[in-house]
Amino acid sequence: MTSQGEHTTMNARTRTLIAAALVLGIASGPVVAHAASVPAPAGGTAGVSAPLVPAPPNAAVLERVIAGLGAEHKDATAALVRVGGTSGSWRGGSGVADIVTGRAAVEQGRFRAGSVTKTFTAAVVLQLAAEGRVDLDRPVRRYLPGTVPDAYGAVTVRQLLNHTSGIPAADGPGDSFEAQWEHRFDVTDPHDQLADALGKEPEFAPGSAQHYLNINYTLLGVLVEKVTGTSYEEAVGRRILRPLGLRQTSFPSRTQTTIPGPHNHGYQATVGADGSRELRDVTEWNSSDRWAAGDIISTTADLERFTKALFGGRVVPAAQLEEMFTVPAVKTFGSGKDATMTAGLSRIVLPDGTVAWGKSGGRHGYNTGIGATRDLSRTLVYSVNSTNAKGEDMNPVVLGVVMAAFAQ
């Protein structure tokens, strides 16, 4: 069985090694393309707070982090990175679009953004709340009486948004890559997933713990359709994609397995019959099992525009936007650690104490992330073609990008 969540933890030893690599500059190799940093503003003015990240991006370190990617690299075949904000900007790419031809990575290539989809879903729900069409404290069963049974009658819309509902995951083909590979072209109906999950016993009382699971956002996708009277995809398109001009962002149809337009192939490292390392092309995959929780396709440019608009208050009104920066005062289910997830984002405390907010996503062959400080002095969007994108630990290239992007 699979939990249909996504690993967001990082191994402490890996973090230390990557940090050392950044300091010592041991990474090497050419970067395909990059844009130079823009000098940072001189500082805060009267009545204006100084930026949380005052220094411009360190271009040299960012170049080293993504250098040398390709078929022979242990962790990634390609990477696309955009670092921006009021303190300066940098853009770079490295690696190959596919390992067969070895052609350079497509700088504006599209990719599967995984659970970054949840940020879009949350934004639409919060828009509906601002319009008075959805009450975040109202039981979701009031909106979906035929979908949500009595056992989950107390679960509110807000608890779905911040993963404190207690609804368990739907069953899937299994957690192993091989099990998922065998079912990569399966077409999944979200209502079937909900029936499976909601037929089980709750994991915990609603609002008492946090468990990051896709099922919460699958149910929110159905809620969006019920309230708007249109498809989830059309609701996101009408409310976010078209108003922001996100022309390279799309949702696959229920049966679509390809990525439309130019893109970099995704690969999963496997062990061959002779014990050697092999890279299996995982670009073609049906994502209907992730739907409103994780099937969006986008580019780094589009996601950067979305991130800036979202944090800048141009997507969700200010009052409802606070939900995205509010972590519930509960513990994480299973680990007992403090919760970190919000409505569509998560709180990230960087090694120097800087607080950033963002969302990561992982689909086989693709690790994606968006993030920013709340004052937008630093933004980050990345797509890394990880060779083990669903691994338990954060991909070392991704970790290096995040640390370098927010370093001061």
In whole angstroms, give the CA distance from residue 33 to residue 17: 26
* Rg, Å, the chain Cα set: 21
- Of 368, 380, 381, 370, give the one whose Cα is nearest residue 406: 380
Structure tokens at 104: 């350079």
In the block, residue with structure tokens 């490292």: 269
Specify whether the CB–CB gap between 226 and 143 falls below 8 A.
yes
Query: What sections of 183-287 are H helices per DSSP?
Result: 190-198, 214-228, 232-236, 242-244
**What's the gap between Cα 266 and its chain centre?**
16
Position 40: which residue type?
Answer: A
Position 102: which residue type?
Answer: G
In whole angstroms, give the CA distance from residue 283 to residue 287: 11
In whole angstroms, give the CA distance from residue 106 to residue 205: 47
H/E stretch holding 368 reads: strand 366-372
Residues with active-site annotation: 115
User: Phi first, then psi: what are they for 95, rounded to 5°?
Assistant: 95, -160
- Of 339, 223, 262, 265, give the one whose Cα is nearest residue 102: 265
**β-sheet bridge partners, residue 363:** 366
Query: What sections of 136-213 are H helices per DSSP?
Result: 157-161, 177-182, 190-198
Query: What sections of 134-213 are H helices per DSSP?
Result: 157-161, 177-182, 190-198
Specify whether the CB–CB gap between 385 and 267 falls below 8 A.
yes
How do strand 90-95 and strand 76-84 relate by DSSP bridges? antiparallel
Specify whether the CB–CB gap between 54 and 81 falls below 8 A.
no
Contacting residues for 243 by C-beta, under 8 A, at least 6 apart: none
